[in-house]
Amino acid sequence: MRLSAVVKLLVILEVAKLNFCEEIMFGSPEETYWSSLDMYLWTFNVEPDQSIFDDNFEISGDKSESVKGLYFKPNNNIKFLPVKLNEKFPNLVVYAANNCSLSSLKYEHFTNLSKLQILSFGTNQISSIEQDAFKDLTYLKFLFLNHNEIANIDDHTFDTVTNLRLLTLYNNQLSALSENIFINLSQLRNISISDNNIQSMNDNHFKNNRKLEWIWMHNNEFSILSSTMFDKMKNLKFVDLKENLCINDYYFAARFLEMKEKIKSSC
């Protein structure tokens, strides 16, 4: 089943019952497995003493290799990702633990999971991401880190996820972004850094992200923005700059010239 050119992410992921707090658009998805996502989604409702976190947890090899999606239902008792699951489910494409109590993401959490394409850890307490946490996830396309407590992200955290199409960092505690943090994300189509405390961005932040189509930057503290930072994005459809210090509006393509003039005069 072929998806339409532009669809709402909430609709696409409804079958997986993932929870997101705002509608994020993305266009021209190449993935064709969405329609059967429900057929291979594996869900766990984990209690503190449930054996899935124990060394004795077992599942037959035949069944484990057929599991393509792993979703933890919302549960405040889930404070870490069980590493032993990596060996049992080596063919995971989807891995989600939203509305839990995760505090960090580490390299060991994703070893042996090189086929992952979707990671969703929204609404947790994540404050720490190891620099090489996503090192082996070269097929990753969708990464949801919204509604956490992330204040700093290392320059090289996203270096190897070069196929990433969508990145959500909204509703965290970011006050600054390195100029090189997105430099290897040349396939990125959609990004949300809204609801943070970011004060400035320049031409270098998105210089290699020329395929961007949808950008959310609202409710930050922007007082310095470059009026030319979006110029090389030929596919850009929408930029949300509402609720910032120097600008308070959102813009579709027809108003991009107006947006540029506003940034130039006010930021």
Residue 88 has a pLDDT of 81
Both 10 and 137 in one domain: the answer is: yes
Do 182 and 233 fall within a single domain? no
Indicate yes or no: pTM above 0.85: no
* CATH code of the domain containing 151: 3.80.10.10
Residue pair 16/92 in contact (Cβ under 8 Å)? The answer is no
Cβ-based burial of 11 (10 A; exposed 0-12, middle 13-18, buried ≥19): exposed
Residue 1, domain member (yes or no): no
**Domain identity same for 44 and 79:** yes
Specify if 122 maps to a domain. Answer: yes
- What was the pLDDT predicted at 37? 34
220 and 252: one domain? yes
Are 197 and 175 in contact, with CB atoms under 8 Å apart? yes
Our count of domains for the chain comes to 2
SS3 assignment for 44-107: ECCCCCCHHHCCCCCCCHHHHHHCCEEEECCCCCCCCCCCCHHHHCCCCCEEEECCCCCCEECH
Using only C-alpha atoms, the chain has a radius of gyration, in whole angstroms, of 19
Domain that holds residue 253: 207-267
Residues 172 and 264 in one domain: no
Q: Of the candidates 229, 238, 231, which has an alpha carbon nearest to the alpha carbon of residue 200?
A: 229
d(CA 24, CA 143): 13
Residue where a domain terminates, one of 154, 169, 197: 197
- Write the single-letter amino acid at 109: H
Any idea how long the chain is? 267
181, 133: one domain: yes
Q: Give the Cα separation of 212 and 208 in Å (integer).
A: 10
Residue 202, in any domain of the structure: no
Q: In terms of domains, do 236 and 176 share one?
A: no
170 in any annotated domain:
yes
Residue 73 and residue 175 in one domain: yes
| Residue pair 194/170 in contact by the 8 Å Cβ criterion | yes
Q: Which of 154, 179, 197 is the last residue of a domain?
A: 197
Is 165 found in the same domain as 77? yes
Residue (of 77, 78, 123, 128) closest to 106 by Cα position: 128
Q: Within this chain, do residues 14 and 100 fall inside the same structural domain, yes or no?
A: yes
Residue 207 has phi, psi (to 5 degrees) of: -65, -25
- Is 17 a domain residue? yes
Mean pLDDT by 10 residues, the chain (267 residues): 30 33 30 32 46 50 71 85 85 91 96 95 98 97 97 97 97 97 97 98 97 97 96 96 97 96 96
Q: Residue 24: its pLDDT value, please?
A: 30
Residue 253 belongs to some domain of the structure: yes
Residue 149 CA to residue 129 CA, distance in Å, equals: 11
Q: Is 13 inside a domain boundary?
A: yes
As given in the structure block, the two tokens for residue 13 are 């992921």
Same structural domain for residues 214 and 105?
no
Residues 92 and 217 in one domain: no
